[in-house]
Amino acid sequence: MKSVKTPVASVLALSICAIFSTSSVWAQEKKENQLPQVEVVGTSPLPGIGIEKNKLPYDVQTVTDEQIYNGQSLNLSEYMSRNLLGVNVNEIQGSPFQADITYRGFRASGILGSSQGLSVYLDGVRVNEPFGDVVNWDMIPEAAISNVTLVPGSNPVYGLNTLGGALAFTTKSGLTSPGTEVKLQAGSFGRKRADVSYGSKSEDGSHRFISATVFDEKGWRDNSEGSVGNVFAKIGRMQNDSNWSLSLIAARSNMLGNGLLPSTNYGEDGVLASAPLGGMYETNRRWIYTHPDQTKNELNMLTLNVQRMLDSETELAGMTYLRHSTRRSLNGDVEADTGDALIHYNTTWQTSYGGSVNLTKLKEQHQITSGISFDASRIRYGSTVADCPSGFDASRAPIGCNPAIADTGVRGKSYAIGLYASDTWNLKEGTYITAAGRFNHAGVTSTIDGQSKESFTYNSLNPSVGISQAINPTLTAFGNLGQSNRVPTVIELGCADPANPCRLPTGLQSDPYLKQVIARTIEGGMRWKFSDDSGISSSIYRTENTDDILFRAVGATGQGFFSNFSRTRHQGLDLSTYKSIGPLTLQAGYSYLDATYQADGTLFGGARDVTVRPGAKIAGLPEHTLKLNADWRVTPKFTLGGTAITTSSITTQGNEDGLIGSDNSHTAAANAKVNGYTVFHLHANYEAEKGLNYFGRINNVFDTRYETYGMMGMSAFNADGTLRNYAAGEEPTVNRFVAPGAPRSFMVGLRYRY
């Protein structure tokens, strides 16, 4: 791996050296007979018998609800981006609950058509939506989350779509979270949020828990209002050796995420004799391109979890669920080549059901888990489009629109069956070998616009093996090899013919065969724990994706199709350290990511075909990310904290080959990268009395102007927001569109627990 000669790396090196020196001395002062703290984590999506984190051959990250509160973030997405190693957020939609989250360059995104690569679970239920494997973050009941676990690599036990990692959320219950909690907060951009929860338990073992969240904002950009509401309820009973719980989620959201804004202007053909001009972003970063861009999500989900101890060393766990979601979107658009105004309407109905069973056995030096899972779904999707001959109003919203007419529709269904087993074997003192395997069988069926039905099936046997070796009582080395797979979704199969391209997410044309994606990860590292409150961990990894599924371009039309790309690679380094010095707690995390295409191919560029060669960077992913967190307990009741995040520049989508232009006959070499940035955040908490806390935070303290994503495209609007004069022969211009980072904001609130 090449050396990293950047200010980021220099700062990190100094920080690590300082903490090493203080930690080594401090560790020697610890009493020799003090027992180390043991952290237990799960090894499968289902709740069950856990295992000591230090015995695993990979580095799992876990956080609790109290840690999330102490981080004083607006929501889970924001917390993970600031505190979890390797996690970044692209603000593509401009809405805090429509996050595009990446981990080691793999996505768990709410954007249809994104190349998804992370599996996400809630109490053992996989919540990647079946239509496009997207994750609707606004449907997660955040007030009910007890803990979060992030598992790295291509872990086969976590099933389909675990190409780069798995994210598992566990909810609270009356057993784990008795009492009442009220959290209220309000701040900039008209943001208001309320979280309320109540839990209790009885002597007979019965328990109950309920939580509710309401969020509303005007948004910091024009026409970017949003609201989220959900209710989570759980009842259950623990008696003798058995425990069961039944939970219900009802969630609704109405979000206006207005996406990218045209910035750097390269002229009509993208080949300028002089320096490029500014765009709408430079004129007013609060503007939007066209609107409305409205998404309404609805979710109802019922989950039954059961655990029973068959004996002191054997547990049987089972889960079954029923899940129904609806997504309705309304998008005001402009045809860049003509300047015509359109409104697209899309609706997706998805019903999923399934279950899984785990058997965990402790036998001498082995911890064995085996299980079976089944998931099935039915999908309906329909889209209509209305042309708007009156054009746009002053805010760039289509006006004078004709009645919408049917565009396309699809019906589909899918199923997946998984058989898996894993064994952690204590070979000898301090040596643990973990082997796992999973067989996945999946089928996808779709019918486009009432045409002939197409069905495809996929099989994959995915193994993994790793070792964790204690070198001494404080130092552990580990290594792991793993494989996982992802099968094409209905939308990918429905837009897979280059002769019949579609415009996402409104056009589905045909469904040729696509290969499944196979990901293989090799990872190694070390964990060095000096004490309960200081340590260092490092991981180096490489994931190779075979037959990755990408959206590919058809000329400069904005249309494209899904197809397999023979090979992509994600490799890098994660390094983290933490240390407590009296009232001061420090954390530092550095991630190096080299995400590249490893074959020749043509990509979706937005303005033209983009030809990539092996080694070309994948767009939207920073090579270097540094996160620094500090909390200072000023007094026993008052805590002040801060976060600094620094990223390097990112490759702009459509500029992967270092060229720009309106088509391949008009190209010029240009570096259209999005600059890196550094932002600072502050937070504070004051415990007025037992159970009552006041808190506040300032995001982007210095009001830094920054961008988190870039894409080349054709802009129909001038820098002042007016439509170009198509009647006079003006044409759209080649622009670099960017995702503006949020400006400085304030939030204050209180939490009361009793």
Whether 12 has a pLDDT exceeding 50, the answer reads no
- Give the model's pLDDT for residue 502: 66
Helices and strands of the chain, counted as H and E runs: 5, 39
pLDDT computed for residue 39 by the predictor: 81
Distance CA 624, CA 617 (A): 13
Order of strands, edge to edge, in the sheet holding 733-740? 261-265, 733-740, 707-715
pLDDT at 311 over 80: yes
Rounded distance between C-alpha atoms, residue 172 and residue 168, angstroms = 13
Burial class of residue 322 in the structure, from the number of CB atoms within 10 Å of its CB (0-12 exposed, 13-18 middle, 19+ buried) = middle
Pairing of strands 165-171, 118-122: parallel
The C-alpha angle 159, 164, 169, rounded to 5 degrees, equals 60
Above 80 in pLDDT, residue 496?
Answer: no
311 versus 452: the higher-pLDDT residue is 311
Distance, in Å, from the CA atom of 405 to the CA atom of 751, rounded to the nearest integer, reads 50
Helix, strand or coil, per DSSP, at residue 282: helix
What tokens does 472 get? 């001494």
Burial of 696 (0-12, 13-18, 19+ CB in 10 A): middle
Q: Which amino acid is at 127?
A: V
Q: What is the pLDDT of residues 88-133, one digit of tens each?
A: 998 887 788 988 899 999 999 887 777 889 999 999 999 999 888 8
The total number of residues written for the chain in this structure: 754
Which residue intervals of 29-132 are DSSP H helices? Answer: 65-70, 76-83
What pLDDT was estimated at residue 499?
65
Q: Which two tokens stand for residue 727?
A: 């009647």
Res. 557: pLDDT tops 60 = no
pLDDT for the residue 10: 42
Whether 23 has a pLDDT exceeding 50, the answer reads no
Residue 392 makes CB contacts below 8 A (sequence gap 6+) with 290, 334, 341, 398, 399, 723
pLDDT value for 272: 78
Residue 316 near residue 310, CB atoms below 8 Å: yes
CA pair distance 125, 109, nearest whole angstrom = 17
Q: Residue 6: pLDDT above 70?
A: no
pLDDT-derived band at 33, boundaries 50, 70, 90: very low
Alpha-carbon distance of 146 to 177, in angstroms, equals: 8
Q: Is residue 226 within 8 Å of 190, Cβ to Cβ?
A: no
- Average model confidence (pLDDT) across the chain: 89
First to last CA, the chain: 53
Instruction: Tell me how far apart the alpha carbons of residues 636 and 142 are, in angstroms, rounded to a whole number.
Output: 28
Q: Is the pLDDT of residue 185 over 70?
A: yes
Side-chain-side CA neighbours of residue 391 (13 Å): 13
Q: Which residue has the higher pLDDT, 559 or 729?
A: 729
By C-alpha distance, which of 642, 521, 514 is closest to 584? Answer: 642
Q: What angle do CA 85, 545, 523 make, to 5 degrees?
A: 45
Residue 559: per-residue pLDDT: 62
Q: Which of 49-53, 148-152, 266-270, 602-606 has the highest mean pLDDT?
A: 148-152
Residue 94 is predicted with a pLDDT of: 76
> Minimal CA–CA distance to 670: which of 582, 610, 724, 754?
610
Who's near 727: CB < 8 A, 6+ residues apart? none
Residues whose CB is less than 8 angstroms from the CB of residue 163 and which lie 6 or more positions away in sequence, other chains included: 106, 117, 118, 154, 484, 485, 486, 517, 519, 543, 545
* Contact predicate 355/319, CB 8 Å: yes
Per-residue pLDDT tens over the stretch 325-358: 999 999 999 998 899 999 999 999 999 999 999 9
Q: What is the mean pLDDT of residues 5-15?
A: 41
For residue 511, is pLDDT > 70? no
Residue 398 has pLDDT above 70, yes or no: yes
Instruction: State which amino acid sits at residue 306.
Output: V
DSSP 526-574: EEEEEETTEEEEEEEEEEEEEEEEEEEE-TTSS-EEEEEEEEEEEEEEE
SS3 call for 281? helix
Choose the weakest-confidence range: 15-19, 191-195, 300-304.
15-19
Q: Is the pLDDT of residue 454 over 90?
A: no
| Average pLDDT rounded to a whole number, residues 298-318 | 95
Provide φ and ψ at 324, rounded to 5°: -130, 130
With cut-offs at 50, 70 and 90, classify the pLDDT of residue 9.
Answer: very low
Please report which confidence band the pLDDT of residue 503 belongs to, taking 50, 70 and 90 as the band edges. low
How far from the centroid of its chain's Cα atoms is residue 383's Cα? 26
**Spatial separation of the C-alpha atoms in residues 260 and 241, rounded to whole Å:** 54
| CA 258 to centroid of chain Cα atoms | 19
- CATH fold of 7-29+40-753 reads Maltoporin; Chain A (2.40.170)
Share of the chain above pLDDT 70, in %: 91
pLDDT for res 21: 39
The C-alpha atoms of residue 377 and residue 508 are separated, in whole angstroms, by: 19
Cα gap 506→558, rounded to integer Å? 12
Would you place residue 41 in the very low, low, confident or very high pLDDT band (cuts 50, 70, 90)? confident
Tokens of 678: 């550094």
The answer to whether the CB of 720 falls within 8 A of the CB of 656 is no
The per-residue pLDDT for range 243-289, each reduced to its tens digit, is: 999 999 999 999 987 789 999 999 998 887 678 899 999 999 999 99
What is the 8-class DSSP label of residue 280?
H
- Stretch 53-81: mean pLDDT, rounded? 94
Q: Are 174 and 157 in contact (CB under 8 A)?
A: no
Rounded average pLDDT over 664-678: 90
